[in-house]
Amino acid sequence: MLHEETYAERNQRLLVAQLARVYAPLAARAGLDSPAPVDLSHPPPDCRLAQLVDAFRLSPFERDLLLWCAGAELESGFGPAFAAAHGDPHRTAPTFGLALATLDGAHWDALAPGGPLRRWRLVEIGAGTGLVARPLHIDERVLHFLAGIVCLDPRLDGVLEPVDSDGRLSPEQALVAADVVALLDRMRPPVMVVLDGAATASRRRVAAHAATAMGRLLLVVPATLLPASGPESATLARLVEREAALLGGLLYVDCADGDDQRALGAFLDHLGCPVLVGGSPRLPGRPTPLRRTVPELTSAERRAIWLASVGESLAVRFGDALAEVAEHYRLDAASIEALSAELAAADPLDADAAALRRACRERARAGLDDLATRIDPRVGWADLVLPDAGIDTLRDVARQVRHRSLVHHEWGMASRTGRGLGVTALFTGDSGTGKTLAAEVLAAELDLDLYRIDLAAVVSKYIGETEKNLKRVFDAAEASGAVLLFDEADAVFGKRSEVRDSHDRYANLEISYLLQRMEAYSGLAILTTNLRSAVDRAFLRRIGSVVTFPFPDAAARARIWRLMLPPKLPVDGVDPARLARLQVPGGSIRNIALAAAFLAAERGGPVTMADLLAAARRECAKLEKPLTDTEIGGWT
């Protein structure tokens, strides 16, 4: 059976023939014998040499000079021939002067700084005196390319990442990818297309599909790794562009809000090839780039990807939970596919709806952990002491979150409004009346993460920083499906003031931006305030539910006391009815009960009314609240 020649073998055979062709005039000048070369002055287009000539537009003389440099590294006969031609046994590398005198079609600008050999760093000029006498060497990456070795330039390790187009796109995302292909096909380079909109992974996947459709490989450069403007930026741009030409790649610069825009602009200025930029870069002084928005996956599209990824058997086990996680967790297609593979590889007995929710929650929470404090809910409805009207409203909030996919999408209610489809609630009441506890109850009921937003870290005195911080919080929350708790929100969501100076104007802009994001937010946002009257009316109109947490009456306080004194706690003579006379909110009751338990543990005995009285005195002193005989009479 005849051996079928592989591409690598064919490329090597053609390269050897090309080296033999350029060796012949060198051997003649050196007075050496050489075999008759094969006429391959026009190498076949599918060999690496022809690709290199085409990519960098080399002249025949530049091509043959590059082959001389490659021959010095690959063929043992070239070194002695160069030495003989130079009349010096130590000069075993080609020189420009020898090439000018020996090779056909010689031209002086072949080694000009702007010529392709030096511009693209195909050859390097060694040390010595005079340009024509200095030794020439082929760049290592270019030599590997000619030899058919598939690799990346080692100088670009960690900077350039090849990405394939495996994975699904939604129909709308596929249209964006096709539009990008059409733009790049009809526009002359250099051309830049900005992909904004969806999350990083979705933008990158659209770019990878566009590259594949063009017969190219997507090469991703993180903007965070770009050097500051200057020679380093120019050098990196040249190496990256050369690598794109060698690999037939399409460049994609992945940038984020915090990246150095000057470094990004300088890098882009040095590129002369088509480039895609992911994100929303601000590049003042540059022409307005072409821009295409990558749409987020809809809940229906996420559900379809889930169903296609998990397979029929797991889809049956997960049941309605698939629709639920598709609605709550705005994961991109790559994350859904990765989670599906993870769940499929697990023990089948562990693959249930709870495991699905847990996997989604853990994957989605990464973006918020650096921006907010996660609260692990460990309470339920029985732990919440609130009038029936408040409980009913909270249960209504839970119903809205649980069934929003059915109501908004399957029943078509989303088509009746262009506003956000999320759920917002405002909890009002004095400190310690159970607002945060109610948020925990809702998160536990819905099996969602709960994050408390640190307003001190969000609000900034610098113009524009508050909006930027809020954008990061909401963007991360959109992906995580988490419940957001803006505690003491009146500090930010306060009444918009009359504009008296620039500070008032920017403060009002911050509130307006906040109102817009709240309206567009697709998750559950819970806001708490101690003073409802401090909240702007325009903001209240955008709140779906308002729950008032009243100061607990005696019956409610007695119930809270019973909850705060668990069955395992040893007590002696403790009477919740007498304790309920103390007029403090539930948060203070918890503090008193906990402090009394520590007093009893130190003493080695059960909790007594005396322990509770001592703890109550300290708590009320902290609150600057005087204790009356009516409240503590008969405690001891």
- pLDDT band with cut points at 50, 70 and 90 for residue 111: very high
Mean pLDDT computed over 342-361: 82
Q: Measure CA 147 to chain center.
A: 38
Domain boundary among 82, 112, 147: 147
The pLDDT assigned to 500 comes to: 47
Instruction: Name residue 524's amino acid.
Output: L
**pLDDT for 114-164, tens place per residue?**
999 999 999 999 988 888 999 999 999 999 999 999 889 999 998 999 988
Question: pLDDT value at position 496?
Answer: 47
Q: How far apart are CA 228 and CA 211, in angstroms?
A: 28
Element (H, E) at 322: helix 321-328
pLDDT top residue among 395 and 503:
395
Cβ-based neighbours of 141, under 8 Å, separated by 6 or more: 151, 153, 154, 155, 242, 243, 246
Banded pLDDT at 522 (limits 50, 70, 90): confident
**Would the CA dihedral through 219, 220, 223, 228 be positive or negative?**
negative
Evaluate if residue 91 carries a pLDDT over 70: yes
- Give the tokens for residue 297: 């996956």
Query: Which CATH number belongs to the domain containing residue 169 in this structure?
Result: 3.40.50.300
Q: Look at residue 372 and tell me if it is in a domain.
A: no
Please say if the pLDDT value at position 538 is more than 70.
Answer: no
3-state secondary structure of 204: helix
DSSP 224-291: GGPPPTTHHHHHHHHHHHHHHHHHTEEEEEE--TTS-HHHHHHHHHT--S-EEEES----TTSPPPEE
Pair (540, 400) in one structural domain: yes
The residue from 481, 515, 549 where one domain ends is: 549
Question: Does residue 347 sit in helix, strand or coil?
Answer: coil
Q: What is the mean pLDDT of residues 623-628?
A: 85
Phi, psi of 45, deg, nearest 5:
-65, -20
* Nearest in space to 251 (alpha carbons), one of 260, 243, 261: 243
Note whether 544 and 570 are same-domain residues. Answer: no
- Co-location of 285 and 196 in the same domain: yes
- pLDDT for 614 beyond 60: yes
How far is it, in rounded angstroms, from Cα 177 to Cα 618? 66
| Residue 259 pLDDT greater than 70, yes or no | no
Q: Which domain holds residue 395?
A: 381-549
In tens, the pLDDT along 8-65 reads: 888 998 999 999 999 999 999 988 887 766 666 667 777 899 999 999 999 999 999 9
Do 270 and 165 fall within a single domain? yes
Looking at the fold, whether 126 and 47 belong to one and the same domain comes out as yes
Q: Give the single-character DSSP code of 422.
A: -
Please report, for residues 307, 328, 330, 413, the alpha-carbon distance to residue 325 in angstroms, rounded to integers and kept in the order given: 12, 5, 8, 20
Same structural domain, 506 and 588: no
Calpha distance 301→313 (Å, rounded) = 20
Q: Given this model, what pLDDT does residue 534 score?
A: 67
Please say if the pLDDT value at position 407 is more than 90.
no
Considering the domain architecture, whether residues 55 and 80 belong to the same structural domain is answered as yes
183 belongs to a structural domain:
yes
Determine the average pLDDT of the residues in 525-554.
Answer: 82
Query: In the chain, how many domains are there?
Result: 5
Whether 366 maps to a domain, the answer reads no
What is the average pLDDT across 387-407? 88
Question: In this predicted structure, which of 242-256, 312-326, 486-500, 562-576 has the lowest mean pLDDT?
Answer: 486-500
* List of residues 6+ apart from 635 with CB closer than 8 A: 578, 579, 609, 610, 612, 613
pLDDT value at 502 more than 50:
no
Domain boundary among 83, 116, 147: 147
Residue with more model confidence, 83 or 289: 83
- 370 found inside a domain: no
In a shared domain, residues 428 and 536: yes
Instruction: Give the span between the Cα atoms of 23 and 519, in whole angstroms.
Output: 74
- For residue 502, the tally of other CB atoms under 10 A from its CB is 9
How far apart CA 218 and CA 462 sit, in angstroms, is 39
Residue 497 predicted with pLDDT over 60: no
pLDDT digits (tens, 9 = 90+) for 260-291: 788 888 899 899 899 999 988 887 667 778 89
For residues 61, 62, 65, 67, the Cα torsion angle rounded to the nearest 10 degrees is -110
Other beta carbons less than 10 A from residue 497's beta carbon: 13
Residue carrying structure tokens 């090439």? 99
Domain presence at residue 589: yes
> Contact 532/553 with Cβ under 8 angstroms?
no
Pair 344, 396 in one domain: no
556-611 pLDDT, tens digit each = 999 999 999 999 999 998 988 899 899 999 999 999 999 999 999 998 889 999 99
pLDDT higher than 70, residue 66: yes
* 399 and 256 fall within a common domain: no
Are both 314 and 255 inside the same structural domain?
A: no
Assess whether pLDDT exceeds 50 at residue 499: no
Q: How far apart, in whole angstroms, are the C-alpha atoms of residue 336 and residue 309?
A: 8
Q: How confident is the model at residue 313 (pLDDT cuts 50, 70, 90)?
A: confident
pLDDT single digits (tens) 156-212: 998 999 988 777 888 999 999 999 999 999 888 788 999 998 888 899 999 999 999
Query: Nearest CA to 427 among 528, 524, 523, 518?
Result: 528
Nearest to 318 by CA among 342, 353, 358, 348: 353
CA–CA separation, 296 and 172 (whole Å) = 9
d(CA 422, CA 435): 20
Q: Are 221 and 160 in contact (CB under 8 A)?
A: yes
Q: Are 500 and 460 in contact (CB under 8 A)?
A: no
Give how far the C-alpha of residue 514 lies from the chain's centroid of Cα atoms, to the nearest Å.
23
Predicted confidence at residue 505, as pLDDT, reads: 46
- Does residue 108 fall inside a structural domain? yes
Q: Residue 20 domain-assigned?
A: yes
- pLDDT for 208: 95
Q: Indicate if 159 and 115 belong to the same structural domain.
A: no
User: Is 237 among the domain residues?
Assistant: yes
Q: Do 163 and 208 form a contact (C-beta atoms < 8 A)?
A: yes
List the end-to-end C-alpha distance of the chain, in Å, as a whole number: 105
* CATH number of the domain enclosing 580: 1.10.8.60
pTM of structure: 0.77
